[in-house]
Amino acid sequence: MGDRHAWTAAPAAAERARSVLAAAWSCAVTAEGGREELVGAHTALADGRVLLHLPEDSTLRALALCAPRGEPSVVLELADVAPVPVRSRIRARLWLAGTLVPDEGNLLLQPSRIALHRANGVAAVDPAEYATAEPDPLAAAEARLLTHLADAHPDAVERLTRLVEPGSLHGAVRVQPLAVDRHGLTLRIERTRGHGDVRLTFHRPADDVAELTERMHVLLAQAARAACPRTLQRQRTDGDR
């Protein structure tokens, strides 16, 4: 039996967008009536629509009830923040533009335009692809997994740098786990000035935490067979003096 998900180097934009929505705890909603910052007030539905749970005195609630046809245009913004302290912690921003309709005391956002902003640019996501995409199976556990890796296993993170091209480690002062999904692990390489990211791709996708553990063991085994990067060797030697 083959993998339930095809092997790729990284998630598609629609899947990444759904993962940001699934993991985000806060959001901002902008409409003609202003902007509201919401915490713990949205629920992502299976098809990517968003249910907003707003207080009775919310400006957005009044706008939705009073607007013609009850459908005000809004933009929902969600930030994907790295759980591990690194420079430039916002990994992506997701914008969902659409209309709000009342739904059993709440407001329902039906996205008609979706944009995902990452370090390499802004990608427009097809609404049909977005509606049928699923969040990454590790999205809900990612924060716990990355903080555990950074706090409890810094030695493992250092060993993984043996899989990174030496040129990418030139001038590195710190390496931290930045992101993980079913396709691979991303490391943030910080330098005195600036930073860069390197992705270590799994040999097969991981659909749960148990499979992720096996994929990480494979990466560490590969790292054990690789030579320690000269850049890090020199830094450790200089630091021991």
Residues 103 and 192 in one domain: no
Residue 4, in any domain of the structure: no
Query: Do residues 28 and 109 both lie within one domain?
Result: yes
189 within a domain of the structure (yes/no): yes
Is residue 157 within 8 A of residue 149, CB to CB? The reply is yes
114 and 187 share one domain: no
Q: Is residue 3 part of a domain?
A: no
CATH code for the domain of 149: 3.20.180.10
Q: Where a domain ends, among 68, 101, 132?
A: 132
Among 106, 132, 158, give the residue marking a domain's end: 132
92 and 164 share a domain? no
Domain span holding position 184: 142-240
Number of separate domains in the chain: 2
Which of 132, 159, 182 terminates a domain? The answer is 132
Phi, psi (deg, nearest 5) at residue 130: -60, -45
Q: Kindly state whether residues 149 and 127 are assigned to the same domain.
A: no
Q: Considering the domain boundaries, does residue 72 fall inside one?
A: yes
Does residue 7 lie within any of the structural domains? no
pLDDT (0 to 100) of residue 37: 93
Scanning the chain, the segments in alpha helix (DSSP H) are 13-23, 59-66, 127-132, 142-152, 154-160, 209-224, 230-240
**Residue 8 domain flag:** no
* Amino acid letter, 204: R
Same domain, 82 and 153: no
**Co-location of 124 and 218 in the same domain:** no
Whether 199 is covered by a domain: the verdict is yes
Residues 17 and 118 in one domain: yes
Beta-carbon contacts of 188 under 8 Å, excluding residues fewer than 6 positions away, are 82, 84, 86, 87, 175, 176, 177, 178, 195, 196, 197
For residue 128, report the phi and psi dihedrals to the nearest 5 degrees: -70, -40
CB 142 within 8 A of CB 25: no
The pLDDT of residue 234 is: 45
Domain check: are 223 and 126 in the same one?
no
Series of mean pLDDT values for 10-residue runs along the chain (241 residues): 51 96 95 87 96 86 70 90 96 96 90 95 97 96 98 97 93 96 97 93 96 97 79 47 42
What CATH number did the domain enclosing 80 receive? 2.30.110.10
Q: What is the pLDDT of residue 70?
A: 52
User: Do both 117 and 32 map to the same domain?
Assistant: yes
Residues 123 and 159 in one domain: no
Q: Does residue 6 lie in a domain region?
A: no
In this structure, are residues 172 and 127 in contact, taking their beta carbons and an 8 Å threshold?
no
Say yes or no: 85 and 50 in one domain. yes
